[in-house]
Amino acid sequence: MRKELAPILEEIQGQNILVIGDMVADIYLDGRISRISREAPVLVLEQAGEKIIAGGAANVVNNVATLGGNVFAVGLVGLDNAARGLKEALERNGVHTDGLFCDEKRPTISKTRVIAGGRATVSQQIVRIDKESHEPMAPAFESQIMQYVKSLLPKIKGIVLSDYGSGTVTPKLSQQLISWCRAHGIPSMVDSRYDIHRFKGIGYVKQNDAELAAAVGRELATEEDIYAAGQELLEELQADGVLVTRGEYGMVLLEKDGAIHNIPVSDKSEVFDVSGAGDTCVATVILALAAGVDPARAAELSNVASGIAVRKLGTATVSKAELAAVLGK
């Protein structure tokens, strides 16, 4: 079955994809344990390195780029080192970053992980420091983003709304984009962690099983429960499909014509880290839909790509070459 998916890889190359959402800078500070502080019973670390990688919606962007898409990132950043590092991480993969607007009054959304280790100890995360503004987006920036997006829309083949709850995907922006997609037959997809109900009219919805349970307000103990909850969300949002990711149980795609596609996990051999695998899933699906691929086959391809992502530590991307190698087996 995998080899049957291989031709899709060429079809998705160069597709123009717009990703709007909460762009996150994942910052890793490496420290070597020096001594115990005399000020307090805490470790003193000598900083040995700093790495900034794309997280949140920016990880969806990066995955679209590494899989071969031509991707436009849209969101807000601050005037800080996190913004510079995030842009560099995206531009290394050829991402268009003109849509990352700088609001000097708010910080770039960042998650700083301090990693401590020594010559005789295993390095481990000792603290995470999150930074973001909880103020609503200023109307001036909402207007700027909308103008930029409108200038792009005629050449866009697929749109992702990546909502991590930080307020970038405002109701006004989301409804205008959803309306455009419906009017012009453009595939759209939303991945919203906390507020999926406000995306009525979206093309495709991506939820993991825990998010779906929260969305319908009940425990989903069986496959039948997941099917029922997915159908409920499908009808409420008047969507074309709902894709539910289920970890080691694979994925389920429910379509508006009543079809249910149960897709088993592609490879259980080495699951290291599921963080970011959902972003890989979304990136693969929107690329395939933009190329005119059948939704069920798009989901199957994303299942294989996600299987590669979970075998990597941390927020990760999957390349065209990696996916081609697995599909060729």
Residues 126, 314: Cα–Cα separation, whole Å: 16
Q: What are phi and psi of 254, to 5 degrees?
A: -110, 130
Distance in angstroms between the alpha carbons of the first and the last residue of the chain: 10
> Cα torsion at 320, 274, 250, 242 (round to 10°)?
-80
Please give the distance of CA 55 from its chain centroid, rounded to a whole number. Answer: 8
In the structure encoding, which two tokens stand for residue 23, read together? Answer: 């762009």
Other residues' Cβ atoms within 10 Å of the Cβ of residue 298: 28
Q: Is 279 a catalytic residue?
A: yes
CA angle 282, 150, 190 (to 5 degrees): 20
For 64, residues 6+ apart whose C-beta sits below 8 A from its C-beta are: 17, 19, 71, 160, 283, 286, 287
Q: What are phi and psi of 22, to 5 degrees?
A: -85, 100
* Catalytic pick among 98, 225, 279, 294: 279
Enzyme catalytic residues: 279
